[in-house]
Amino acid sequence: MAHNELVTDLAALFLEDVPLIDLRAPIEFQEGAFPHAVNLPLMTNEERAQVGTCFKQHGQAAAIALGHSLVCGEVKAERMAAWQTHIAAHPNAVLYCFRGGLRSQTVQQWLAEAGLERPRVAGGYKALRQLLIQTVEQSAREDNWTVLTGMTGSGKTHLLNRVSCAIDLEGHAHHRGSSFGRLPEGQPSPIGFENTLAIEILKRRQQGEHHFAVEDESHLIGRCAIPLPLFERMGMAPVVVVEVSREERAEQIRQDYVVDLAERYRAHHGDEAGWSLFCEALQDSLARLKKRLGDMGWRELDSLMRGALEEQARSGRSEAHLAWIGLLLERYYDPMYLYQLEKKQERIVFRGERAACLAYLNQLAKPAC
């Protein structure tokens, strides 16, 4: 292998889950990265900022000289050791920086001098990111997409988990999509969300899949935006409506947003802190709807929620939550859903209860999948 070898088959890096060494500064990595990348930067955020300022004021040669003076001696030895350790554990690892330029060339050369020949990505992070953007654009343009909708609490995510060609947008966003959808683990960066979604689409198209089912979502899932080409395609796609009674939906919400979510908070933060943070998150979620509920309406629901949380803390029983959940569905979520559904009437191709929708979606996907 030549010490300056370039990887030009960018799709293969994602399709084969090739380990990637991201040489960008931590601040760049935090803004957006790839699932199989580890950040082992050539320069810290501060060092990168100094080199960038030097480049603007004195040009490339001076910036390169400053970079070498900042990363030398013990500092260089420590970073070399980190790269060597990672490559020893992942012998097929590939290097990249932002554009596949000086940073990755420098590290590639240093490693070669130490007897480790590793390739770098042609075009770097920017080229990889562009490939993923184009993947989503192409899929939105060429593939078949079907949207599953239904009133809040219909269990759409659970249903789609049993559909062979479903893509879980909320799973990629680490968020359940509603005002109450925050999860204790937090969300990825918006770019990180786009990247993992695009990689799934890339892999499944490579396997010959060209029909995908997704849940009806707003453009934003928490802080993560569905890529605009896909969101626009969803706005034109055929719609399947799952129909579930309000009582069943209230029970589904109790299970998902009270019982399960409380357990997730406890698992993530410990019993006492997790319970406290769960209660705070639930009340904050309701408070976000205060303007739409009106002050009196919000106060009533907030009082019912607080009473239910006290009962849950005391006895472990959560059935009291059904009171505020039922009222919230009746007064806010159901009217909003019916208003939105009216706009989709012409695109509805099927409606029915859960089992019927499941059968329809799975059958629909078979010829293309």
- CA atoms 72, 73, 75, 76: torsion sign: positive
Strands (E), 112-210: 120-121, 144-149
Distance of CA 24 to the CA centre of its chain: 21
User: From its phi and psi, is residue 124 left (phi > 0), alpha (psi between -120 and 50) or beta?
Assistant: left
| DSSP codes, 195-224 | HHHHHHHHHHHHTT--EEEEE---SEETTE
- Active-site residue, from 54, 97, 165, 279: 97
| Residue partners of 211: CB distance under 8 A and separation at least 6 | 143, 144, 145, 146, 165, 364, 365, 367, 368, 369
The 10 Å Cβ neighbour count of residue 180 is 21
Question: Does the annotation mark 357 as catalytic?
Answer: no
Write the DSSP symbol of residue 227.
P
One-letter amino acid at 193 equals F
Kindly tell me the sign of the dihedral angle through the C-alpha atoms of 198, 200, 206, 209. negative
Q: Active-site residue numbers?
A: 97
